[in-house]
Structure 1
Amino acid sequence: MTTHAPTTAFVLTAIGDDRPGLVAALAAAVDEHGGNWVDSQLALLAGKFAGIVQVDVPDERAQSFLDALSVLADEVGLDVEATAAGAPIDAAPHSALRLHLLGQDRTGMVREVSSALRSQGATIDGLRSWTREAPEGGGMLFEAEAEVRLPADADEDGVREALETIAAELMVELELDAPE
């Protein structure tokens, strides 16, 4: 029987000017302290590398791990903040929707959609958005994809109605369906 040492879960946020080796440096710090890279989302935005990473580190090495993170800024130009992970997501029954939005770019779109979701008790588990040129010189388009979690007692039709109302006001195309 194998026993596992107690671990501390951290959520790391990292940002730095994009260049080769940033992920490798962060992964090395995790590995050198006996840590486990659990989950991550990494992206290149406006010339900056940005990421969020969940790691588990043995309790007895947690402080030395945090110390090692602080030197990554000087060594490779990666600023990393560590926060103790929160409680696991409530496993209560829920339903999920995948949202896709496309329309002319204008200010306030994310605010309007997220407010409509909040009004229905929905939680955004993931959101990716971007802009792109519209065909034939039609200006800029805004596009977003989101994974939305609804509480068990949520009225899915009510959520759809709230989002369709916003889509009509914003004059955007909105697709809602079950996640794949």
Structure 2
Amino acid sequence: MDHLVLTVIAEDQPGLVERLADCIARHGGNWLDSRMSRMAGQFAGILQVAVPTSAQAELFDALRELESQGIRVLLAPSGSAPGRSWRMVRLQLVGNDRLGIVRDITRLLASHGVNLESLETEIAPAPMTNESLFHADARLAVPTGLSLEQLQQHLETLADDLMVELKLQAAE
């Protein structure tokens, strides 16, 4: 079995995931892992499937045919796990919304060799003032050679510049 990563985007509609799942199953594929969401009227997802090598070309063709139904699918072979040692850390951030928050935080993380495993963000009104607050919840793979205290210190310096509050803790 080959492992593939699929990314999917389409205008949100009932039955979309079922059509995708049916296409994968008809070609002997096994749905392994996925993250999917509806946002601004669009459906977007990423998933990992296992498919017999002999059925891979037919699955590719069938997934391309879904485009006639408005479902775009990109395929890539599953990557190998990095050879580094990591520890999982959760980063939570809240602050007034402004341009560049994600860019600045991810730039700092990348400069320290931290891998972003997942990221969820949203803009929500502040309870009392109704101002737009930016919320981020990230799962990070931190190299074991980087102390959490050092990472926390660098993040706090940036947080002061961005005027955001952040919390860094070991992931469960």
1:37 Cα deviation after fit: 0.8
Q: Which amino acid aligns with 1:40?
A: S
Alpha-carbon offset, residue 135 of structure 1? 2.1
Give me the TM-score of the superposition, normalised by structure 1: 0.91
Q: Does 1:111 align with 2:103?
A: yes
Q: Is the 8 A contact 1:126 1:146 kept in 2?
A: yes
> Which amino acid is the alignment partner of residue 55 of structure 1?
V
Per-residue CA deviation, residues 116-151 of structure 1 (Å, 9 max, x unaligned), is 111221111111111111223442110000001111
> Which residue pairs with 1:15 in the alignment?
9
Give 1:81's aligned residue: 74
Give the 3-state SS of the residue equivalent to 1:136 in structure 2.
Answer: coil
**Residue in structure 1 matched with residue 29 of structure 2 by the alignment:** 35
Amino acid at match of 2:72: D
Q: CA deviation at 1:56?
A: 1.0
Q: Does 1:129 align with 2:85?
A: no
* In structure 1, C-alpha distance between the alignment counterparts of 2:157 and 2:88, rounded to whole Å: 20
Q: How many residue pairs get matched? A: 172
Q: Per-residue deviation at 1:71?
A: 1.1
Q: Which amino acid aligns with 2:103?
A: R
Aligned letter for 2:121?
Answer: S
Q: Deviation string for 1:77-133 (max 9, x for gaps)? A: 21111112222x136432221000011000000011111111221111111111111
For the 8 Å contact 1:12–1:81, the answer to whether it is kept is: yes
Rounded to whole Å, the distance in 2 between the matches of 1:8 and 1:94 is 26
Aligned to 1:94: 86
Describe the superposition over 1:126-177 as per-residue Cα deviations: whole angstroms up to 9, x where unpaired.
Answer: 1111111122344211000000111121122111111111111111110111
Residue 54 in structure 1 maps to residue 54 in structure 2: no
Alpha-carbon distance between aligned partners in 1 of 2:171 and 2:137, rounded to the nearest angstrom:
11
CA contact (8 A) 1:120 1:158 kept: no
Question: Letter of the aligned partner of 1:177 in structure 2?
Answer: Q
Runs of at least 5 residues in structure 1 that lack an aligned partner in the other structure? 1-6
**SS at structure 2 position matched to 1:135:** coil
Structure 1: distance between partners of 2:83 and 2:34: 21
What is the percentage of aligned positions where both structures have the same residue?
A: 39
The residue that corresponds to 1:154 in the other structure is 146
Within 5 Å, which residues of 2 pair with 1:59-70? 59-70=53-64
The amino acid across from 2:161 in the alignment is E
Compute the TM-score of the two structures, normalised by the length of structure 2: 0.95
